């Protein structure tokens, strides 16, 4: 986690909330699969869904972190199971779909495509393996996971929540490949909404701004300055992104189709950064 300076304490306190606080049962009885759920935003979404009553398949590569996430959910009174996830090949993605359905009793109400990789490299330094990794994880895996799970989602009249990025909407001097992959995911959201909405499946994107996670720790000094420039006065916390993902999965958003919900502290609407 990024260490906050004294100047950030007051604004950060506004975001401080128990990640697994009891909810109001908005997702009671639903079964959800969250990819990349063993850390960061994905873990926060898994915790929030479980707190709202969902049974969650926590998907990720690290069994130890997965077990810790499941333990945290169960300790708070929720229900979860870990599912090992390999998103590097289409065959592995289809295996994840089968394993998740088995773990959830054969049905699925919510799919969260959260898993992603972010190599902050310049164009001239991106090699072919890096390119393939980003596209495979951030684009190909969500596409074929939706394909594999579509029968279950249609049967339940379910919901897909894609996790995008505020960077998909602007030109950034670093991480252009990552931004392009997230822009592709947002376009898939719009296309899937048009294709799948009439079949009973809602599809939307939650688009986080810069969020304080283990993955952003390496650029912590720059992040504090960026956060202070935002209308919100600080960076996002994972549970704030998770709250938006709960909304998009729940009945309150029943008329929301093909949308990208920005949770970026005002970065894009004000061009603060």
Known catalytic residues? 178
Secondary structure (3-state) at 262: strand
Q: Identify which of 5, 43, 47 has the alpha carbon closest to the alpha carbon of residue 22.
A: 47
For the chain, where are the alpha helices, taking DSSP H only?
Answer: 9-13, 40-51, 63-75, 90-103, 128-135, 141-156, 176-196, 220-229, 238-249, 267-270
User: How is residue 210 annotated by DSSP?
Assistant: S
Closest CA to 251 of 59, 64, 25: 25
Tokens of 163: 């996790």
3-state class (DSSP) for residue 79: strand
**From the centroid of its chain, how far is CA 132?**
21
Question: What number of other Cβ atoms are within 10 A of residue 273's Cβ?
Answer: 18
Query: Which whole-number Å values give the CA distances from 203 to 61, 144, 149, 215, 253, in the listed order?
Result: 25, 15, 13, 26, 11
Residue 123 has a CB neighbour count (10 Å cut-off) of: 8
Residue listed under structure tokens 């945290």? 72
- Rounded Cα distance, 19 and 10, in Å: 19
């Amino acid at each position: 986690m990024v260490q906050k300076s004294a100047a950030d304490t007051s604004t950060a306190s506004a975001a401080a909330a128990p990640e697994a606080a009891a909810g109001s049962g908005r997702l009671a009885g639903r079964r959800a699969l969250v990819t990349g759920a063993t850390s960061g935003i994905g873990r926060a979404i898994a915790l929030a869904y479980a707190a709202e009553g969902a049974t969650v398949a926590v998907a990720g590569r690290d069994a130890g972190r997965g077990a810790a996430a499941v333990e945290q959910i169960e300790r708070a009174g929720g229900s979860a199971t870990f599912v090992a996830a390999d998103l590097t090949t289409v065959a592995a993605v289809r295996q994840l779909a089968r394993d998740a359905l088995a773990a959830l009793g054969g049905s699925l109400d919510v799919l969260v495509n959260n898993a992603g990789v972010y190599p902050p490299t310049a164009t001239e330094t991106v090699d072919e393996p890096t390119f393939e990794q980003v596209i495979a994880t951030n684009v190909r895996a969500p596409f074929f996971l939706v394909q594999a799970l579509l029968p279950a989602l249609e049967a339940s009249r379910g919901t897909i929540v894609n996790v995008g990025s505020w960077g998909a909407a602007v030109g950034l001097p670093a991480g252009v490949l990552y931004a392009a992959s997230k822009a592709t995911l947002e376009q898939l959201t719009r296309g899937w909404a048009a294709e799948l909405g009439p079949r009973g499946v809602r599809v939307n994107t939650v688009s986080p701004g810069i969020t304080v996670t283990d993955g952003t720790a390496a650029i912590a000094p720059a992040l504090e300055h960026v956060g202070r420039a935002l209308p919100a006065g600080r960076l996002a916390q994972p549970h704030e992104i998770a709250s938006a993902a709960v909304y998009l999965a729940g009945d309150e958003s029943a008329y929301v189709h093909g949308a990208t919900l920005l949770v970026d502290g005002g970065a894009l609407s004000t061009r603060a950064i």
